[in-house]
Structures are given as structure tokens and as C-alpha cells.
Structure 1
């Protein structure tokens, strides 16, 4: 965002967080025919756009040919979505286009014919499969099977039959390996409940309908590649479920407003599936976590706990604490005196977030964007994993301008609205919460002890030797699959082939002959790092291929990556392999490790057999180690590796993936 005009850019009026000129700028690009060529500016425009303008923005963006955008912006992440459902589903494309674009994603949509969802889900897999299938359901999914006159028992029978059909279709979709499937629960409309004139029957119909929706939600528990978006919270907050005229005349049985809300939730799901969820929440203090100005009121004088506004600030702290309990790292960036801040965090009787709730407290008079950079550096995390919440229009605008990769949440002067503002975008959504998530904050606090130890020793070599690092390599158990998947989804820097694998695909690797998934665990004198990495290996004739290698940024530069390669080479040698190959696929975030394999004794190959048909990416670089020399693990590591029994492919000739 430029600052040639107001605080938020040339078209932003003073004191306004959202810029009403952003939609005008998008329309100007569209009218000039430059929208595809200037697609890199779209994300910033959408970030500044009032929510009410997003549907109109989606209409403009959905008219742009994705192929043209890709010619101008070849690095843009493309998400292919097949949209299907029981009724008319095309109206969801425009809002979904805008919602995905807000997260830097380009939609390639394929809309199915009216009512073809069961066939769509059950048809055999084909080339060019979508990454995501969005299947929209509505009340007619059940009521189209109910004849007039009807009783509750008829609806119950139809709902159970429809749920059974859906279950079979979902199973077929998932067993065919057709990617992520997004379903939705179905709102029960008053037009159906009030066709029953006795109250007991209405109550029974409500129970039957909730049982049907419970069945849809259970599909997401049964299949890791399925997500069911619950529409009840959206309808409960006032989003209309249906517009009677479009429902009757266009067979669009979900309202435009509900489709837009569902599109937003779906975009959050897609973002999570691509590993783009956020990890760190950085909070302002005055006017955000408590009312009043600490420097003027003192630690005992801020609004918190007592009075209506004080209770509202305390409720917001409760919401933040809930996020923190699930592995979101909490930090503070506040223009305040540090001693006063720590006194308030330690001593205020109504404070729910204490000093040890935060992995970093930056209380000083530096610019907020500089503090955010400092927190990111100290945590060793990219700023694209950060969310910043502040009540100041100026601070929000400045951070958004200087650090566009940070998600900015502006909370206003009404603390009762703080929770909804923070939760509106599902920034921290995950597919599955793991033990590593729950232990994350404690591990980052332990990292501070390591830093203190680092400052006390003379050299980095002494530091590594003194850590007493132990590395264990084993095939993952069933309970580890979610964490292995999460590493592939969320790790960007040491991710050599940048393959994003949901849990079913990780499980598929484990089940195939000739393949190995190896989980990497690490600990040292200060504590257990947990499961920090994964190797994906494939036996192909005389070759052992490292198809992917991912390692958490928390354990960079401690020799663990070198120990893993040494273990793989030893395993290959012990199982009679002729050579080991590695694959590096460049991405915007992994460039620092482009020479990783070369640094560990591999030579670059001119070409690779798998590269001929593009299966491993046309820009991939392939490396080979002929096993003529042994590569020892770093001396400071205690390495314990057991890859399991050697299991060759059934055909004995290797496999193609």
C-alpha cells in the first residue's frame, strides 16, 4: 500500500481502515484490460476493501481467464475447484474467486450441471483432477424425495436414504484419490417446519434434521480428505439461508449472502490445505487487551474485569487464551514502558493472559513493524505466518503498508466486537490439531534457554556439542500421520520438493511396496523438539529416491539435516541400492537450500527419467550419490536410525509415481 495520499494510500480518507477506493481501482484495471497483467496488485486491493465490496470484486475477477493471469504471473498459486451440488451452484464462483484471491490464490473453477453432484462424486478419476471439490447441499437435497402429503417419518426416511447415498459417493470420491472434498451442513427452513401445524411434529422434525446434519459432519471424521463446513453458526449470526424468489425461479436454494459466507469458509479450508495457516498472533495492549492507557492509568487503573467494558476486554482475553492453548504463539508489540507492562501482566487480578502466556513481549517505543520483524527473527519464523491485532487505525495501516505479508486485524473502540473481528478470517485454521501444536509455545519458550546457552559459549561448534542433540529416525505410527502431513502443508523453507500431502496421501505412501516415510524426531539437553521432519523415500530398481525432505525451521543449522542424509545413504547401502537420488523443486521460500544435496556429496544430474513426463515438476533439479564414499553424520549428533524392513516393489522393476 502506498502512502502518497492518506495513511492508507492515495484513495483512503484519513482515519479509514478499509479503503472504498480499492473497488474503484479494481474496476479501473478491469475496464483498461490490465487486470490480468496487474494481478499481483489484486491481493493488496482486496485486503483494503470493505467486506461489502468483495462480491462485486469477485464478479470482476471471475471474468478474467486464469490462463491469461498465469502468463503474466507464472508464480501465482492456482487452485482448481470443481463446484457441484443439488441445485444451482454457479453463483458461488464469484465470491469464491475473491476469497481465494485475498489469500494470493487463483481460482480455476469447473461448474457441474444442475443436480449432478452424486454422479460427480462417484465418477472414475480422470486426467486433470481438481485439487478441491466443493459440493453444495440445500434443504431440497432431502425434500425433493418427499411426496405430499408428508409426515415427519417420511422426512426421516428420505434423510437417511440420502445420507446413505452421500456416504457412498463420498467414499468413492476419497478412495479414488480425487483430493479435498468440501461439504456443508444444511439449514432447515421455516417454510418446511411450519407446514406442520402441531408443535410436537415440528420439534421432531428439528431432531431429524439435526441427525441428518450430524451425519454430514461425521463424514469429515471418517475421511481425512473431507471437510464439512457447518452453516448453522453463519445462519445463527443473521446470514439469510434462502431467498424465496431465486430459490423458486433460478433453483438457487442457498442465498447469495450464504454462498458468499460459505465461500469465505471454503477459502479458509483451502488455505489450510496448502499450509498457509498463520502461527503467531501479535497483540497491541492499550485499547486491545485492556481499556485505557497504561502509562496514564497505571497497572491497576486499566479497564479490565470490572464494569461492562472491563468484562468485554476480559472476554477478549479469554478468546485469545483459547487460541493460545491450541498452539497459536502469542506475542506483544506495544508502545509502552516495559516495566509497567510486565507489572500489569504479572499483577493485575483480572488479567487472564499472563507474562508466560506470551513467547515474546516487545514493549518499547519503536515502530510496530520493526517490532514485528524483531519477533519474527527471534522466533525464526516468516512474517507470512503472523497476524497483528491493534485498535489504532494508524498502526494497522502502517504495518499493512510496510509488511504486506502480515495479516492485519483492526479492532475498534468497542471491545465486545474484538472477538468477532479476530476470528472472522480463520487465520489459524488447521486440518487437525496435533501434539506438536499443543506443545509449540512451551518449545519456543525453551528456545530462549538455548539462546542464553549460545551466548555463554565461545563458538557455534561448542554450542552444538553442548546441546547434546539426539535424533531418531523411524517410520511414523498412525498417531503421527497428522503431524507428518502438517509438516508438508505448513513448512516452506526447508521443504526440498514442496509437495503438500494430506493425511490420506501420507498413509498411501506407507502402504505402497518400495516406499518409506521416515519421521524425524529430535531432543537435546533443554527438552524434546518432538517430530520435526519427514523423509519420503521410494525404491526404483537400483535407485533409492529421496522424493521429498521436509524439516521444521525450529531445528535448522544444527546438523540434523546432515544426519538424516547420512542415515539414508547408510540404509541404501545396506539394502543393496546402487545410488541415491534427491530432488529439489524451487519455490519462493526454499531457495536457501538449493545446494543442500550438493553440499552433502551429491552431483547434479543433467536429466532424470521421471522428469521427462513432468511428473516431478519441469523445474526440478535432480541429484545423485553413487555410494562410493560414506558420508558420516555430524560428530555432535547421537543418531538412532531404523527404517524398517526393506520392501521392494512387487514388479521388481521399480514404480512410477
Structure 2
């Protein structure tokens, strides 16, 4: 279905119609060849032309280097980033310059990353020629070990230079495929086994480089799925050590990394039931007739359920939307002996005969999430197409009539990947189930005020401690609705801010009569002379509309006055997802000093900080009584 995109390209309208590109690529739905063709069209676009027409388009800087020819990577990257709404600005380095580019802090690669205003990425793509071209006959596994040790040590050193130089950027590396051409040269099978061991030990060292600012793409799982590691003629004649297909798969993995950096990871997996979670149509065969657990198809569905349950244990919310009567659906989930997924595994089960996109929209409202936090899996091409059209932010996974392929289809895009899993992630499903109890409690009151008074909201505002840096980073990466500036931070960035004497990183934790909500937000403060600046304010959608945001802001304003500040400054930068907080500061006593398409600046002169929120019990610890002044010039209108 590359036709519409090709037409836009031929008519010179791709830049003007850029917002439609994401949907057109979604329609390709696993057609890798068509996606690559689309990538070639998109790679010819001038990013400046797109940004002139659509200035709010997220446009990450992507610098590409490596030890081989990577001509096929550019179009693949462009397409994969565009699938997530990202306009990749890809710049390749000169052939063979990877050591200089990553090792010299003054290189063009680092200059390009430093010029980026948002997330930026350096891709260092390594291939086996890095090693295979060096041993001279006669050689043995020990000779290859020495070469591998030298090369991996070099990569480790370059990663350290990168971490120290490119603050806020991400380095993407990869493991090295072991070519049969190399192992086959050893006729001693024991020596061949030793070679395999030392090669894998080197790859293990590369994988251990993974940290928030360094991502290592493991190529072995991609090759195990049937992607060829190399094409011999391209490898020999063009110095392309990885096949075009493997570079395309690598680009897909890199697209997932970029999606995380822009806070676009998904939070909720919504499943159809008939022919998706179990075999058969429940309304036709009844609970006793569905396929789950027994028989070859039943075992395939059980395998899918096992994977879904595993995903759910890591903080992903599970929900079901099915065109069925509610009673037999719930009875099946509760009682069927072949089911691994049970009613309690889902935060909601919506079984009715209404359009699925309406159910998804209502589910999003109930969970206080945007529909762009959803992944929807269904076997029906009609339902998938309808959801794509009506709710374009939803990631749609169409599983086929072959249940053995369900797992592959669900996992291929890593929709729920996060840089690091936190305790708050694992606790998330239980907290959303507690939220259902709160909603039921709300229905027993005549007014919201009475409900909030009885809810017993407690808030703890305190400086971020090192064990919380990862969670604070995650909040900046994943919170989109109540996020006033959407500045994304890695744990190292949070640590640097926490160590800055002129700044404060404050965490917001909350609880109520129904349980502990955990760490639900963060406030970033900075002192400039007699001005206290709120660099950003974030709050999880799970705790909206309970007065927490007003209570925290009031505490910040009172602290500002008590610590000698004469004004508090704050800003708002609009995105497609944070419009609901555009009036947050003006609605809480701030005056507008600047307002434009790129955002607004606000000021509070502290003449009368708001009174405490009556139903919220807040404990505030700002650390040092006053933030140390920095040398930054005071910004006054």
C-alpha cells in the first residue's frame, strides 16, 4: 500500500502532507519491502522543508558512523522513525572515520549532536569485518581473541568519551554476528568451538555497555528470526558487512529507541478476545467450545496468553475489548480450565456490541490515558482498519488467522520497551485496579468535594535521592499530558541536576485511603538571583484532579517567598498531548509575560501565595532552606 505515499512523492507534496505519512506507513502493516520503498522516498525529503510547513514536528538528529558501507541504512532509518511520527535528520560520516568521530570531542559528529534541540542519536554500526580482516594464516581462536579484546576495549573507551561529551544524546551500538566464513576455516572442531566461545564473550562485553546513554542492539535475535547477516558479494565488493535486510531490522530497533526518548512508549495493551486470546467465536461455540490450552491451536493461543501475562507483570496495563455479551466473556475468563489470562489480569474488560473504537476511547477516559498510549491487537482486518482511521494514535497490531504467529506479531515493534524497569512500573497495574475502587467510592458521594475530603490524599514533596533518579527520568520520558515543557531527561541528566547547587529536583509521592500511589511526579527548580524558576512540572495521569498539582505548586510558591525570592517564573511549551495544562499557571495566580506559538512564560510576584488545599495533607522538604543563587542573569520583562 505504498501507492498513496508514492503519489505524494511524485506530486511533490510529501513535505506539505507530512502529518499523513505516519498513517500511510501504518497501513503497510509488516510489508517490509514496501516500507523500504517508502523510506527511499522519504529520505529524499529536505527536513527543513517539512519543518517549515510543520514546525512542531519532532526532528531528532541522527549521526551515523561505522566500519563498513551503510548506504542502505539511511532510507530504513527514515522510514522507521517516520512510523513513530519522527522526522529523522540523518547525517552519515565519512567511510572508516568512526574511531576519529567518536574519539575526538571536537569532531563533526559531536558538533552535530550538540546543535540538537531535542533527543539526538549517534549510531556506530559495527560489522564482522572489524575483526575478520585482521588474522593472517596460520591463525587460531587465541589470535581472534586478542583482536576481539583490542576492538572491544576500543569501543568501551569510545563509549566513555561519548558519555562524557554528548550530554543528553544516545549512542547506539550493536553486537557482531559470527560469520560461518570465519568458523568454517577451522577444521579442528574443538578449536571452532573455542572461537564461538571467545566471539560470544566479546559480544557479552558489548552488551554490558548498555546504560541509559548507551544502547546495544543485539543482532543475534534478529538473525535467529531468519534475517540474513550478510550478502557475500556486497560484503566483498562494496564493503557492506551487514545485509540490507539486517540493517533494516537494526533500523527498526533504533526507531524503538528514538520512540522511547520522545516519551512515545505505550502503556496499555488492549486485546480482542475471539481468535486473538482464544480460538473460536464465543457467541457461536460457547465457553466450552473455544480453543485454549488443549489441541495444537489451543496450545498456540495459550502460548500467546503466556507472553501477554509476562508483559503484564512488567507494568503494562492489560485490557480487553470484545464484541460479545459480557456474562459469557467473564465466565470464560473466570472458569475456563485452559485459560492462563484471568479476569484479575485485566484493568478492564469491555464486552458489548458497540464499535471497538468507541470502547477504546471510553477506556482511555476511564484510565485517564491518551489513546496514543494504547496498543490494540485484533485478528479482524476491518476492526484494525477502523481503529486506525478513528483513533490514529493507537498502535494497531493485526494478528492473523494463524495463532502460532501471534507472539511474533505482538513483539516485533517493542511497543512497551523502556530503558529501565522500575518498582513503580511493576506496581502500576495494581494501582490502576485500586483506581477502580476509588471510582466506585466516588459514586457513593453527592459531590466531588465530599469525595475528596474522605479520600484522605497525602502528598510528600522531597529532594530526589539517587535510587529515585531512574524513576524521575522515566517520568520525564513517559509523561505527556501533565508535562509543562516535555524536556526528556536520562538518569545521568537527573543526577547532574540533583548535584547542581543552584537547582532542585523534587519528587512527588502520594497515597490515600486505598493505597500508596508511589512516585507520581516531579518538579524541577532553579534559582537565578531573586527569581525561582520552575523549569518543569510533571504529574502522572493516574492522580489528576485530586488537588495534588495545586497543593505542590502552592508549596513551591510559599517556599519561594520564605527563601527570599521576589518572583517565581515558569514556562509552558505546547505539544500535541499537553494542551490540557496550557492554562495551569494562569489558573493558579501567575500572570502571562510572553505568549507565542512556541510557548508561554509566566510570573508570580508572590504577593499572595494560594492557601493550602484543604483536603490534601502535604509534607514538603526542599532540602537546603534556600537554593543557592547562580550567575545566570535575572530575566525580567
Q: Which residue in 2 is equivalent to 1:594?
A: 582
Greater shift in the superposed pair: 519-528 or 499-508: 499-508
For 1:150-186, what per-residue CA distance to the aligned partner results, in whole angstroms no more than 9, with x for missing partners?
2211111111111111111101101113401111111
- In structure 1, the residue corresponding to 2:187 is in which secondary structure? coil
Q: Which residue in 2 is equivalent to 1:91?
A: 72
The 2-side partners of 1:224 and 1:73 are apart by 30
Q: Which residue in 1 is equivalent to 2:33?
A: 52
For 1:267-311, what per-residue CA distance to the aligned partner results, in whole angstroms no more than 9, with x for missing partners?
011101111011111111111111112122221221111111111
Q: Which residue in 2 is equivalent to 1:182?
A: 172
- In structure 2, the residue corresponding to 1:77 is in which secondary structure? coil
* 2:188 pairs with 1:207: no
The 1-side partners of 2:559 and 2:279 are apart by 60
Which of residues 168, 184, 191 in structure 1 aligns to 2:181? 191
Contact 1:121 1:172 in 2 (8 A): yes
Which of residues 37, 55, 62 in structure 2 aligns to 1:81? 62
Q: Which residue in 1 is equivalent to 2:13?
A: 34
* 2:247 pairs with 1:268: no
Which of residues 160, 166, 180 in structure 1 aligns to 2:149? 160
Q: Which residue in 2 is equivalent to 1:559?
A: 547
CA shift at 1:633, angstroms?
Answer: 2.0
The 1-side partners of 2:628 and 2:559 are apart by 17
Q: Which residue in 1 is equivalent to 2:158?
A: 169
- In structure 1, the residue corresponding to 2:72 is in which secondary structure? helix
C-alpha distance 457-238 of structure 1, shift in aligned 2 (>3 A): same
CA RMSD of aligned residues (A): 1.7
TM-score (normalised: structure 2) = 0.95
Which of residues 86, 89, 92 in structure 2 aligns to 1:105? 86
For 1:59-110, what per-residue CA distance to the aligned partner results, in whole angstroms no more than 9, with x for missing partners?
1110111111111222221111001111112320101101111111111011
* 2:495 pairs with 1:507: yes
The 2-side partners of 1:183 and 1:432 are apart by 17
* 2:115 pairs with 1:128: yes
For 1:439-497, what per-residue CA distance to the aligned partner results, in whole angstroms no more than 9, with x for missing partners?
11111111111111111011111111111000001112222111111111111111111
Which of residues 496, 506, 510 in structure 2 aligns to 1:522? 510
Contact 2:2 2:34 in 1 (8 A): yes
* 2:139 pairs with 1:150: yes
The 1-side partners of 2:560 and 2:131 are apart by 56
The 2-side partners of 1:630 and 1:649 are apart by 22
For structure 2, which runs of at least 5 residues remain unmatched after alignment? none
* 2:234 pairs with 1:253: no
- In structure 1, the residue corresponding to 2:166 is in which secondary structure? coil
* 2:291 pairs with 1:303: yes
- In structure 1, the residue corresponding to 2:288 is in which secondary structure? coil
CA shift at 1:650, angstroms?
Answer: 7.8
For 1:502-523, what per-residue CA distance to the aligned partner results, in whole angstroms no more than 9, with x for missing partners?
1111111111121110000000
C-alpha distance 324-653 of structure 1, shift in aligned 2 (>3 A): closer
| 1:432-443 aligned within 5 A | 432-443=420-431
Q: Which residue in 2 is equivalent to 1:332?
A: 320
The 1-side partners of 2:593 and 2:357 are apart by 43
Q: Which residue in 1 is equivalent to 2:228?
A: 240
Aligned residues between the structures: 624
Contact 2:563 2:626 in 1 (8 A): no
Q: Which residue in 2 is equivalent to 1:488?
A: 476
Contact 2:528 2:629 in 1 (8 A): no
Contact 1:513 1:647 in 2 (8 A): no
For 1:357-383, what per-residue CA distance to the aligned partner results, in whole angstroms no more than 9, with x for missing partners?
111111111111111111111111100
Q: Which residue in 2 is equivalent to 1:580?
A: 568
Contact 1:538 1:547 in 2 (8 A): yes
For structure 1, which runs of at least 5 residues remain unmatched after alignment? 1-21, 608-616
CA shift at 1:647, angstroms?
Answer: 6.5
